Structure 1
Amino acid sequence: MKSIFSIFKRGLEKTTTKVARTIGSIFTGVKAHSAESFDELEELLIAADFGVPASLRIVGEIRDRYERGAIATNADLARIASETVKDILRQRARAIHTGEPGKPTVILMVGVNGSGKTTTIGKLAARFRADGRRVVLAACDTFRAAAVEQLQLWGERTDSQVVSAKHGADPASVAYDATQAALARNADYLLIDTAGRQHNQKGLMDELAKIRRSIEKVYPGAPHEVWLTVDASLGGNVLNQAREFSKTTGVTGLVLTKLDGTGKGGMVVALHQEFELPTFFIGLGEQPEDLQPFSPEYYADALFGEEAPREE
C-alpha cells in the first residue's frame, strides 16, 4: 500500500521539480548568497504561483536565517522554506463543521466549469463509505446530463443513494428532496453537486443562494460546509474565483484538484495567505485514494523535496 506521503510527493512532483531543484541551481557553488540570489528566488516562487505576499515572507525568512548564520547548505534553505510554508498553512487549519448529533453533515460543492466538483464528490463518497459512513449524493447540476450520469455511476460504485431529477429541473428542488432523503435515511453525509458557473454569472450565483435556502428550510443550520473546488492547474488565476465565490456563496473551505498535472502547486500557499479559508482535501491523481485530506506537513515537505516525516 502506498504511504500517504508518497502520494503527496508523486502528486507534487512537477511543482517540486520547478521549485526545489531550481533552488539548488540558484545557490549551487555560491559561497556567499547575494541580494541577486534572493531576488531570483522570489521570482521563482512567484512564477510557481506562491503569490507575492507568501513569496516575500518565505524569502524574508530565508534571508534572515542566512544573515544569522543558520543556513549553511541548500538542504538548510529548503528546510527553512518548508517550515515557513507550514506556518502559513497551519493558520487556517480546522476540523470539518458537522451536523447535529444523529443527523447528516451537509456539504455543498461549488466552483467553475471543469474544476472537478463531480469527481471530487464521488471520491469523497468513496472515502466516507470506506469509513463505514452512510452517504447520500444530490445531483443538482440538472443542466448537464453527463453530470447526473457521472454522479449516478459514483453512487453505484460506492453504494450511495443518488437523488436526481429530470433534465432542466429546478436545482433547489433537488437539494430540498435530497436533504429530506438524507434525514429520513439517517445518513452521515449529504454531498451536493452543483452546476459549474463563472463567478460573474449573477443569475447562476443567485441560484446557489436559492439552493442554500431550500436546504435550510428542511434542515436548519445546513449546509454545514460550502467547499469551492479549485483547479490548481490554473495557478494564480484562481484567486479571483475564490474572492468572488467567497463574497456571494459563503464559501467555508477549499478542495484543490489536479495538483498532479501542474507545476503551479504553490498556489495552495497563495490561497491560504490571502483568504481565511482552510483547504480540506487535495487531488493528487486519478484514483479515489489520490484525493487526500490536506496536510500542511506532507504538502510542504513534498514541495521542497524534504524526507518523509514519520507516519502513524
Structure 2
Amino acid sequence: MFNKFFDKLKNGLAKTKNNFTDKISEALKSTVTIDDDLYDEIEEILVTSDIGVETSMYIIEKLKEVIKEEKVKDPQLVNTYLKKVIVEIIGTDKGTLIPEKVPETVLVIGVNGVGKTTSIGKISAKLKNENYKVVMAAADTFRAAAIDQLEIWSERAEVDIIKHQEGSDPSAVVFDGIQAAKARKADVLICDTAGRLHNKKNLMNELEKINRVIDREFSESARKTLLVLDATTGQNAVIQAKEFMEVCKIDGIILTKLDGTAKGGVVISIKHSLGIPVELIGVGEGIDDLQEFDPEAFVEALF
C-alpha cells in the first residue's frame, strides 16, 4: 500500500523535482568548490521552485552552517545536507484525517477554484471507508454550483448531505447539519464554508456566527478548521493563507493539485512561513488521490 501511495506521490511531484532537485544536481555536477557562487545558484533554484525568498534564504543560511560544522568539502555531498535541512523545516508529523475524538466538526474554507468541494467529497469517501459515519453541510450558500457539486460528491461518497437554497444563511445550514448529525449519530460533520477574501469582515462575521452555533448546539464535538490551497498558485497560496489567518484560526492545510505544478516547493514555504501543518495533499484527480501528508515520503519523492 505504501509503495502505491509513494509512486503516486513521486509521479505527482515529478514537475517539482525537475524544477528543483534535478536543477540542483545539475549545478553540483559542474562545481569544483563549495563557495558563495554555488550558494547563490542554489538559492536562485529554490526561489524559482516557489519556496519563496524568505524561506530560501533561511535554507541557505542553515545549509552554510551545517556544511561548515561538518567540514564538508565535496560539492556532491551538498544535496544530502540540503535534504536534511528541508526535513528539519517540514518536521516528521504526518497529516491525518482520522478524528482525534468523535463527534468532530470540520469547517473547510478556501476561495473558489482551489478544489474545496472536491476535497470535502474525497475526505468524506475516505472516512466512510474507515467506517466513520459522515454528514456534509453545504454552507457555502453563495454559489448554487457549490451546493450542486457537493450534492454530487455526497452521492459518490454515499454520505448524507444537508443543504438549503442558494443565498441562505450559512449558519442556518450548519445548525440543521448539527441536528442531523446528532439524530443520525454521525461521527463527523463536515461543513463547506465560503471563502470570499475580498470582503474579510463579512467572512469573519459569518465564521464567528457558525462557530457560535457549534458552541451552542454541538459543544461536545471536537472542532477543526482546514484551509484548502491550490499548489499551482505557488507563493500566492502562502499569501492567501496569511489573509485567512487574519480572519480565523487555521488548524491544518489541504494542498490540492500538487501533481499539476512545478511549484511543489510551496509545501516547505507553508511550514516555514506559517507554522501550520499540511494535513492532506492532492496528487491526482481520483477519489483516492487525496493523501495524508507524510513529510518524510514527500522529501524522499522530491530528492
Q: TM-score, normalised by structure 2?
A: 0.92
Alignment of 1:265 onto 2:267: no
> What is the number of residues matched between the two proteins?
301
Post-superposition offset of 1:82: 2.1
**Residues 23 and 169 (structure 1), Cα distance of their counterparts in 2 relative to 1, 3 Å cut:** same
- Map of 1:47 onto structure 2: 48
Post-superposition offset of 1:116: 1.1
Per-residue CA shift, 1:226-267, capped at 9, x if unaligned? Answer: 011111111111222211211212211111111111111111
Distance 1:119 1:95 in 2: 17
Counterpart of 1:46, as a letter, is: V
Question: Which residues of 2 match residues 233-252 of structure 1 at below 5 A?
Answer: 233-252=232-251
Distance 1:253 1:234 in 2: 18
- Map of 2:106 onto structure 1: 107
**Residues 218 and 97 (structure 1), Cα distance of their counterparts in 2 relative to 1, 3 Å cut:** farther
Counterpart of 1:138, as a letter, is: A
Which shows bigger deviation, 166-175 or 239-248? 239-248
- Map of 1:78 onto structure 2: 79
Per-residue CA shift, 1:270-299, capped at 9, x if unaligned? Answer: 111112311110111111211000111011
Counterpart of 1:157, as a letter, is: R
Question: Which residues of 2 match residues 115-154 of structure 1 at below 5 A?
Answer: 115-154=114-153
Aligned-pair Cα RMSD in Å: 2.2
Counterpart contact for 1:227–1:254, Cα < 8 Å: yes
Counterpart of 1:52, as a letter, is: V
Q: 2:20 is paired with a residue of what secondary structure?
A: helix
**Residues 187 and 99 (structure 1), Cα distance of their counterparts in 2 relative to 1, 3 Å cut:** farther
Distance 1:71 1:144 in 2: 58
Per-residue CA shift, 1:136-162, capped at 9, x if unaligned? Answer: 111011121111111111111111000
Distance 1:165 1:94 in 2: 32
Counterpart of 1:214, as a letter, is: V
5+ unaligned residues in a row in structure 1: which ranges? 305-312
Distance 1:127 1:197 in 2: 28
Which shows bigger deviation, 15-24 or 235-244? 235-244
5+ unaligned residues in a row in structure 2: which ranges? none
- Map of 2:164 onto structure 1: 165
**Residues 71 and 220 (structure 1), Cα distance of their counterparts in 2 relative to 1, 3 Å cut:** farther
- Map of 2:224 onto structure 1: 225
Counterpart of 1:220, as a letter, is: S
Q: 2:288 is paired with a residue of what secondary structure?
A: helix
Post-superposition offset of 1:209: 1.7
- Map of 1:309 onto structure 2: none
Counterpart of 1:31, as a letter, is: V
Post-superposition offset of 1:9: 0.7
Distance 2:78 2:71 in 1: 11
Post-superposition offset of 1:134: 0.8
Question: Identity, % of aligned pairs?
Answer: 38
Distance 1:87 1:12 in 2: 20
Alignment of 1:294 onto 2:293: yes
Distance 2:236 2:155 in 1: 35
Post-superposition offset of 1:96: 6.4
Q: TM-score, normalised by structure 1?
A: 0.89
Per-residue CA shift, 1:180-203, capped at 9, x if unaligned? Answer: 211221111111111231154321
- Map of 1:307 onto structure 2: none
Counterpart of 1:265, as a letter, is: G
Counterpart contact for 1:152–1:162, Cα < 8 Å: yes
